[in-house]
Amino acid sequence: MPAKRIRDYLDSHGIKYYLISHSMAFTAQEIAASVHISGHELAKTVIIRLNGKLVMAVLPASYKVNFKSLAQIVGTEDIALAHEQEFQFRFPECEVGAMPPFGNLWNMEVFVAEKLTTNDDIVFNAGSHTELIRMAYKDFEKLVKPKVISYAV
């Protein structure tokens, strides 16, 4: 089961969470609609190539990465959306496009959009196109230690 690594990690840290099953959906907006939550509540994970290495951008499903803003904040011009071929083998236990925002488990830096920090909970793909996890945002932040910045539009 794709969510096992995340569930084991959360369980080992005593984190409370909810596993939400839903019908097959691929886009963040489709997923949000299928589980009846706002696109502002659902976090999507976007893989970006930044200075030659892969990083995670985590932002509300209803937003997009502002690459110009992110590049200015991190002080680089070497930034681009990563292609699936660049990262699909990096997450062997996950379905492509359903990676959970736990970059710390895959040795990746995580940038969280400031807009997500105002929510009590964070809801995200659990490694498959049919499962989500809902947990307290403060627990997510404690485990992942993301860089919180304003780069989403």
Q: Where are the domains of the chain?
A: 4-149
pLDDT in tens, 63-98: 999 999 999 998 888 999 999 989 988 898 898 889
pLDDT higher than 70, residue 1: no
Q: Which two tokens stand for residue 105?
A: 């488990």
pLDDT in tens, 13-53: 999 999 998 878 777 777 877 777 877 788 999 999 999 99
Superfamily of domain 4-149: YbaK/aminoacyl-tRNA synthetase-associated domain (3.90.960.10)
**E strand map for the chain:** 17-21, 42-50, 53-60, 79-81, 110-113, 121-125, 131-136, 147-149
